[in-house]
Amino acid sequence: DIQMTQSPSSVSASVGDRVTITCRASQGISSWLAWYQQKPGKAPKVLVSAASSLQSGVPSRFSGSGSGTDFTLTISSLQPEDFATYYCQQANSFPITFGGGTKVEIK
Amino acid sequence: QLQLQESGPGLVKPSETLSLTCTVSDGSISSSRYYWGWIRQPPGKGLEWIGTIYYSGSTYYNPSLKSRVTISVDTSKNRFSLKLSSVTAADTAVYYCARQVGTTSDYWGQGTLVTVSS
């Protein structure tokens, strides 16, 4: 199985801050990576697929990058509605595996 | 707009079988473009993939759950189902169904909490 390691597990930030979340795969997955946002009591929502392809309707302040084993999700200017937990997921092969999550909290 | 809705008992006794159904609306489960999956999330914890099915019936399971999981599809009713046997308290979680493009889940149900308790 491909293990996904996210860091940090939590981050405190202010509105307007730039936030970067990293995800590392235990083996190369090319660009087969997705990022999800989850708010309390809600289902996850896919933000980015194929490492850098922004889903329709997702604000352009979100961006994804990386390939191989190292990936990042960047929020260029944090907005109040962005406080949530973010998960990466390798989309290279079954079994599907997720990172442990990064909680973005208000500073 | 595609919608997925989980249904099933919210309380299951230890050692029994958890059974959930996901009904798909405003879209066909028989589309060759998509897979259909189950993901769960224990309270306060992260996401765990359970398994995925294609409309043809091909299945893929999490190795850690494989001996206890069965996912099936009913194309005539546009729904797919999850059965998890021999449940314990560790299986208490919010269970989500989702549409998958490849292995990326682009539409999710709202989730249903299943508690394992006597």
Quickly state the pLDDT bin for A107 (edges 50, 70, 90). confident
In A44-83, the residues whose Cβ lies within 8 Å of chain B are 44-46, 49, 55
pLDDT digits (tens, 9 = 90+) for B36-63: 999 999 999 999 999 999 999 999 999 9
Residue reference for tokens 């997925």: B4
CB atoms A49 and B101 under 8 Å: yes
CB atoms B47 and A89 under 8 Å: yes
Quickly state the pLDDT bin for B78 (edges 50, 70, 90). very high
| pLDDT at residue B50, rounded to an integer | 98
| pLDDT at residue A106, rounded to an integer | 87
Among the partner-chain residues A1, A90, A100, the one whose CB lies closest to the CB of B46 is: A100
Secondary structure of residue A82 in the 3-state scheme: helix
Chain B residues inside the 8 Å CB shell of A90:
103
Across chain B, mean pLDDT equals 97
Quickly state the pLDDT bin for B109 (edges 50, 70, 90). very high
Q: Phi then psi for B40, rounded to 5 degrees?
A: -130, 165
Residue partners of B20: CB distance under 8 A and separation at least 6? B6, B7, B8, B38, B81, B82, B95, B97, B112, B114
Query: Quick one: closest CA in B to A96, which residue?
Result: B49
pLDDT digits (tens, 9 = 90+) for A28-85: 999 999 999 999 999 999 999 999 999 999 999 999 999 999 999 999 999 999 999 9
Among the partner-chain residues A43, A91, A94, the one whose CB lies closest to the CB of B108 is: A43
Residue from A47, A94, A98 to probe the interface with B (highest B Cβ count within 10 Å):
A94
